[in-house]
Amino acid sequence: MRKSSSLFLKTAAFLVLTAVAVSSLSAALMFDKSEYAARRQKLMEKIPDGAAIIFGAQPIASYYPYAQNNDFMYLCGVELPNAALIIDGARKSCALFFTSTEAAARANGISADVVKNPKETTGIEVVLPYENLAGQLMRIGNQAKVLYTPFRPEELYREASMEKFMNLQQNMVLNPWDGRTTRELQFVKVLKERFPQLEVRDCTSMIWELRTIKSLAEIELMRKAGRIGVKAHTELMKATRPGMYEYELSAVLNYICEKEGAQESAYGVIISSGENQPYVHYAEHDRQLKDGDIIVVDAGPDLNYYDIDITITYPANGKFTPRQKEVYEAALAVHEANMKVYRPGLTPQQCRQEVEEILKKQGFDLNKDYFKRLRGGFGHYVGMATHDVGGGPQLLKPGMVFANEPMIIYADENLGVRVEDTILITETGCENLTAGIPRSVKDIEALMKKDGIPQVLKKAGLY
């Protein structure tokens, strides 16, 4: 897993991981090896006519800790760089390829258990040096009908695969001054050249379909990440005062997340206030808060490769104006109505219809401008990426995790509101994985009368 910089934070992350793990978990893997075996078995069932080849992330050329790409991590839990995985659907077998030493693993802050006892640790029956991959592919190429591999770009830390794909297309692939293809499509080209008799197919959607439905182990890990996010956002509201800079708020949130065992924030902390409200992903942290500001903070922790997405909206001075309260409570009403209707089998249209009925019964005037402009209901998936693979749900199924995020912006009023939680669909309804954040106007205003970390430090002469 990605490592924090201090010994204390490394220890905290290890304790959180230990609490998540089942009794037979190896120290080298995030989950029990049977969890990964089940995932590989499901992919095998989708490719009975061939074999899939999935590459791990390459070594990094920066001072950031090494992180595996999400698809590779999902299928085997191995964090070593320059690894490859073959999942053979025709022969119902798997092979892992890597070349690394125990010393190299430890130097990168990665558990060496996979290097020392690869078969026992991973449960993969064939483990070979990376140099043997070419020969293994030749044997498969002479026997199989189809070779599968992901066509979409690998998803690394703080990345979302589809967004990365569009960015690379625009700025690299279709750039007349560049023109390079992606690593994945270059591999497709090489496969077609070396095995012209075979069909090469994209298995991206197959892996993404598996990732869309979270297992019990994944859900428990995301619950823990959710609790960290709730604590961080609650402390952030307590800490906020007019005159502070946005970078101070970001520091408080990141401190709480890492103190509680998260590796880092899942994405750059988004803080929109004042004239920056229209820019919903604004993350410069360069504005000093003013009395009367409404603040939107969108942030969540990354815990052992799994993300949480939360947004809070609150006044810098701890007191909503009548206009801020009116718009905020409209968004909160939509958010709470969504929670009442989410269940398996629901479509976005059905959700909207049922939410409207709930709001009417509660006495809201749906002809108000903000109800017409509010969007929300089915947001993006959340999981190993904040904007997780698959886009967003069109039909709710148990195990799906996504964002409930009603949002509205009045740019001319410097007024933005977003209320976002990370939601799990259960067999009978839904569960808020980030429940516990003060959300009502009354509760927010009461919380903000308390001292936060900066105020406590100031009284002690340390801030």
- Encoded tokens for 210: 């598996």
Residue 130: exposed, middle, or buried by beta-carbon count in 10 A (0-12, 13-18, 19+)?
A: middle
Q: Give the predicted TM-score (pTM) of the model.
A: 0.91
Residues 373 and 322 in one domain: yes
Whether residue 7 lies inside any domain: the answer is no
Indicate the residue among 181, 196, 212 that finishes a domain: 212
Residues 317 and 345 in one domain: yes
Q: Which domain holds residue 65?
A: 32-212
Calculate mean pLDDT across residues 431-445: 98
Residues 184 and 160 in one domain: yes
Indicate the residue among 160, 183, 212 that finishes a domain: 212
CATH of the domain at 290: 3.90.230.10
Distance in angstroms (rounded) separating the CA atoms of residues 316 and 415: 12
Within 8 A by CB and 6+ apart from 177, the residues are none
Residue 126 phi, psi dihedral angles, 5° rounding? -120, 120
Residues 280 and 178 in one domain: no
Residues 220 and 207 in one domain: no
Residues 233 and 174 in one domain: no
Residues 254 and 180 in one domain: no
Whether residue 288 lies inside any domain: the answer is yes
Query: What is the tens place of the pLDDT at every residue in 170-193?
Result: 999 999 999 999 999 999 999 999
The answer on pLDDT for 21 being more than 60 is: no
- Count of domains forming the chain: 2
Calculate mean pLDDT across residues 145-168: 94
Whether residue 57 lies inside any domain: the answer is yes
CB 258 within 8 A of CB 9: yes
Residues 365 and 257 in one domain: yes
Whether residue 2 lies inside any domain: the answer is no
The answer on pLDDT for 167 being more than 50 is: yes
Residues 40 and 167 in one domain: yes
Lowest mean pLDDT among 66-75, 95-104, 160-169: 95-104
Among 12, 99, 71, residue whose Cα is nearest residue 301: 12
Among 100-109, 141-150, 437-446, name the most confident range: 437-446
In total, the chain counts a number of residues equal to: 463
Residues 339 and 373 in one domain: yes
Buried b vs exposed e over 382-400: b needs ≥16 C-beta within 10 Å?
A: bbbbbbbbbeebeebebbb
Residues 275 and 350 in one domain: yes
Indicate the residue among 157, 181, 212 that finishes a domain: 212
In one-letter notation, the amino acid at residue 455 is Q
Residues 286 and 190 in one domain: no
Whether residue 372 lies inside any domain: the answer is yes
